[in-house]
Structure 1
């Protein structure tokens, strides 16, 4: 009998070639592994291979054996325990609907995370409607002159809490290039627009001015290029000519929290593989 604690996730990336799936599954089988889920994708245009395998095994395959296999295919591989909750720092400004949604999904066990800190550039009173329980709250007000100092404090919080992931849950501040590079691949932002359209500030007002019939939200990894990081998840909401910018904001709140929670869940389950400016996502 296998235990739930013996579930693991294997991620493999390399050039596309014959025999990849057979070789890696045989390696897991030889170690007594029982495969629960296998997702693979071959990018024929760029000759790239991506694979995610969730499996149960009380005896892990040896690192030496995995390394030997990786050398044969010139592959990169990572093995993760599936049952470990990732520690998360959540950044928020005044709009707290995404924060509230993440905390709710955490409390009911839908998201396998542990919130270790909430950081805001506004005082706690501005997000008082959201019950954060015993999660530590840090107020780091940002001005042009204090930004470098406050980002150092933020970095200290992330380091001291051992956070695995940073979530910008409608955090209306642009991270510096230094900060963006430091948390590269470990920071997810929700942008209240269907990127790449309507980047930057006030996207709903931009959409209203253009008379669009669909609004959306985009969850992406943060990079030094504003709102141009690798996209994880997107969704849209239909609107009409009668909707005001305020209506768009109200309707946008729902799609924002849906998109962010899905993106975070994919990341936590190791369903997202970064590929330069793009992602390969294996939905559950």
Structure 2
């Protein structure tokens, strides 16, 4: 119980403003309750110089203890689905808002257990057919997965399983901790590979986030840059487990543009490739995205051809500013506004040859009313797009997404 409280207390922490004395950059830094706070009076500048920068301000001890007590009293109840009252500091601004936002993520997805010292977290995603050679269901899949981990001294923290009633297929996602000295990375890979051969798996992927390289991605964007800049900000804060190799756009941005300045500061190349109806510059794009693990379309308003998709051969994640399958194509916000809908949404999906019809990864909605204008529709829609796209990328990188049937996905 005490360990669980420490885990939750380390996750739900207030946010304070610090200023780097080297590059004079003001940024936000999270200061944990009772452990990380006492380690060092300084924080690493997350914006420019990456040097140790003393914080301008620190939370008073009383305020920090108040947040810690509140965390311990209420956050375990949140995991059971009970409503969470706002911390008293919510009326005082940033601290309360930061805590409330992070609690919402707890309600959406359970937090993995703490990793013991000296151990690493592993994630395994598995898909295999259920019937064996005799046409009967294969039994003991979960037992074999557990045995594979336990035989190497590992400890399973969570297992999600999905077995459709009308389909002979098995899906699972496991999180486990293990000692890398007892189970080296190459042997871990070999053990799960043997397991996949045993069951004839269509997919068996294992990742160790602290050992394996981050996913390498390229981002394509057009004129609107709210999704692009949101991704860049989340990447800078370490909230997306990816490395951005380049940004490609068919819209030219001046050198003093905020996106350009950000990319230059972090050494991320920006490629301006103007397109026409007869030349989509797809061959040049293919050369630029070569070697990436997947591609993100952050409001890239060009249709990618079937030959492009086949040549790339990997996943492409798109954000559609509408609640698919309704309002496909251009100007979905205006379509929704004219239709008088009461819910607007955003959809993140895989790109296929059929326009805006790929398997859906994530959807988010927000209520609107007759009092909303087209402008307020667009503002709400853009906020949903940013959150929806980021959540889809995060789910993909955490091995939570599997194809299901032709146009569906399993998202653990």
TM-score by length of 2: 0.63
Rg larger in structure: 2
Contact 2:286 2:312 in 1 (8 A): no
| Contact preservation (8 Å) 1:181, 1:223 | no
DSSP-derived class of the 1:124 partner = coil
Q: Which runs of 5+ in 1 are unaligned?
A: none
Aligned to 1:247: 376
Q: 2: CA distance between counterparts of 1:234 and 1:90? A: 20
Q: Which runs of 5+ in 2 are unaligned?
A: 1-115, 131-137
My pick for the range that moved more, 273-282 or 255-264, is 273-282
Residue of structure 1 in register with 2:13 after alignment: none
CA–CA distance in structure 2, aligned partners of residues 151 and 54 of structure 1: 39
Matching of residue 174 in structure 1 with residue 303 in structure 2: yes
Asked whether the equivalents of residues 337 and 374 of structure 2 are also in contact (C-alpha less than 8 Å), the reply is yes
Higher relative contact order (CA 8 A, sep 6+): 1
**Alpha-carbon distance, 1:21 to partner:** 0.7
Alpha-carbon separation, structure 2, partners of 1:176 and 1:263: 23
Moved more, 227-236 or 120-129: 120-129
Partner of 1:24: 145
Counterparts in 2 of 1:174 and 1:143: CA distance versus 1, 3 Å: same
Q: Give the aligned partner of residue 279 of structure 1.
A: 409
Conserved? CA contact 2:361–2:411, under 8 Å: yes
> 5 Å matches for 1:38-187?
38-57=159-178, 58=180, 59-60=183-184, 61=187, 65-76=191-202, 77-83=204-210, 84-125=213-254, 128-130=257-259, 131-132=262-263, 133=265, 134-147=267-280, 150-159=281-290, 162-187=291-316
Q: Deviations over 1:150-192 (max 9, x none)?
A: 1111110111xx3112110011111111122334552100000
Any conservation in 2 of the 1:199–1:227 contact (CA below 8 Å)? yes
Give the C-alpha shift of residue 62 in structure 1.
Answer: 5.8
Q: In 1, are the aligned partners of 2:124 and 2:173 still within 8 Å (CA)? A: yes
> For the structure 1 residues 70 and 197, does the alpha-carbon distance in structure 2 shift closer, same or farther, using more than 3 Å as the test?
same
How many residues align? The count is 277
For residue 333 of structure 2, give the secondary structure of its aligned residue in structure 1: helix
Q: Equivalent residue of 1:182, what SS?
A: helix
TM-score (norm 1): 0.90
Q: Deviations over 1:64-86 (max 9, x none)?
A: 65444334422232223323311
Pairwise CA RMSD: 2.1
Instruction: Give yes or no for the alignment of 1:11 onto 2:125.
Output: yes
